[in-house]
Amino acid sequence: MRRFGRPDQGAYPYLHNAAGNPPSPCPIALVHRGFAPDGGENTMAAFERAVELGFRYLEIDVRASSDGVVMVFHDEDLDRVTDAHGRMAARTARELGGLSVGGDGGIPTLEAVLLRWPDLRLNIDVKSGACVRPFADLINRLRAHDRVLVASFSDRRRRKVLRLLKGPTASSAGMAVTTLLKLLAPLGLAGAISRASAVQALQVPETYRGMRVVTGRFVDACHAAGLQVHVWTINDRADMDRLLDLGVDGLVSDAADVLADCMAARSAWPQGDVRA
């Protein structure tokens, strides 16, 4: 079994997997958009179910409403998961909060999630440029820097957020930086790239367009550079065990119950208290 990576977690408490403890060899378990096996992703009810299972980390998505409020929602349009149609960004926060998302209530604000569970840690994919400043303003106002990891497929958007934040905040690479790291990490260049790009983690699929991303060599190279490797979206127990044995530092899953059982079998569960 491989050892897990240990970036400078003193500077980024988000990457600790137990409250107040020093870096631990246990991997991080992240539930994808809350636990919503019957629908209702990214809702307060889905998050509550995940917390009840013992999760301390959520992977969520944010966009801005028409009145500049940071909302927890994945899609650009409302059609797939709500009882409404059209662009999400065309509606106010109040209107979005009144929609039905899989029967599990309306679209929540990020502020409501942060205040509801003060010790919950959020892996946040910033989905739109309009969300950059209101997101940074909210994190600064609530002083939630230690509780969030900033993610985005766009490295440019991610860096804009980091420049606006007033405290050290963990971040994972976007597509461009991830591609560079995949190509150049085996050459020993991962450390220089990660420092220049202000990232502490890579969050990647196991394979992408037929190319295997997560290999033992890649994980070792990232660890040597002080980078954690988190893999998404892993729903099968055998895949979870195989990747954890390979040494990855975190798994993102829709199958929260399966992932919780996997972590419990490895004596890595629960991963700290989440107070209501």
Which distant-in-sequence residues (6+ apart) come within 8 Å of 230 by Cβ?
28, 30, 123, 172, 201, 202, 203, 204, 248, 249, 250, 251, 252
Neighbouring-strand partners of residue 32? 59
pLDDT at site 25: 61
Cβ neighbours of 78 (radius 10 Å) = 21
Q: Which domain holds residue 194?
A: 13-265
Residue that has been written with the tokens 């199958």 in this structure: 255
Angle (CA) 175-271-167 rounded to 5° is 55
- What is the model's pLDDT at position 10? 53
Residues 6+ apart with CB under 8 A from 20: none
- Number of domain units in the chain: 1
Question: How far lies 198's CA from each of 117, 168, 171, 177, in Å?
Answer: 27, 10, 7, 10
pLDDT along the chain (276 residues), means of 10: 46 69 70 95 97 97 98 98 96 98 93 97 98 98 98 97 97 94 88 93 93 93 92 98 96 98 94 72
Q: What is the CATH number of the domain that holds 193?
A: 3.20.20.190
Active site residue 74: yes
Q: Where are the alpha helices (DSSP H) in the chain?
A: 44-53, 93-97, 110-116, 132-142, 155-164, 175-184, 190-197, 216-224, 237-246, 256-265
Residue with tokens 């409302």: 78
Residue-level length of the chain? 276
Catalytic residue among 16, 32, 223, 230: 32
Q: Is residue 272 part of a domain?
A: no
Alpha-carbon 246 to chain mean position: 21
pLDDT of residue 276: 61
Q: Is residue 238 part of a domain?
A: yes
Query: Which amino acid is it at 250?
Result: G
Domain presence at residue 274: no
Which of 15, 28, 96, 14 minimizes the C-alpha distance to 62?
A: 96
Q: Quick check: is 32 catalytic? A: yes
